[in-house]
Amino acid sequence: MSNNVAEYSGLIAFLEWYIPLKAGFNTKQRPVIYSDSRLLIKQMSKEWRARKGLYLPYYNRARNLIRQNNLDLSFWWVPREQNEEADTLSKEALVKAGIQLAIQPVQ
């Protein structure tokens, strides 16, 4: 598991929830995806290419869901220092689920 896999898993979960319900939403407003993952935001906005990594199948799944369902989404990057509350809540949920948090060594 990597943080990028986790970020893309969250996006896929949203897409799988949203797609069957989208007809009931105000289609004049484009859904906005906020994330502190610059990689996810830049790749999904087509500013950066996806090349390799554990996240690549997840990137492909998200991109296919968007394309196959003709979704028009906006992606906005939120700097991590402006996202402390969400970061804290996500870590609490992981700890409650019994997942041990560790910082990966820099290679």
Mean pLDDT in residue range 8-35 = 87
If one compares 49 and 94, the residue with the highest pLDDT of the two is 49
Number of domains in the chain: 1
Q: Which domain holds residue 40?
A: 3-96
What pLDDT sits at residue 105?
62
**Is residue 81 within 8 Å of residue 41, measured between CB atoms?**
no
The answer to whether position 14 is within a domain reads yes
In the chain, count H helices and then E strands: 4, 2
Backbone angles phi, psi at 33, to 5 degrees: -100, 120
Per residue in 29-84, pLDDT (tens digit) is: 788 999 989 999 999 999 999 999 999 999 999 999 999 999 999 999 998 888 78
The answer to whether position 35 is within a domain reads yes
The answer to whether position 106 is within a domain reads no
The answer to whether position 67 is within a domain reads yes
Q: What is the CATH number of the domain that holds 71?
A: 3.30.420.10
Residue 1 has pLDDT above 80, yes or no: no
The answer to whether position 104 is within a domain reads no
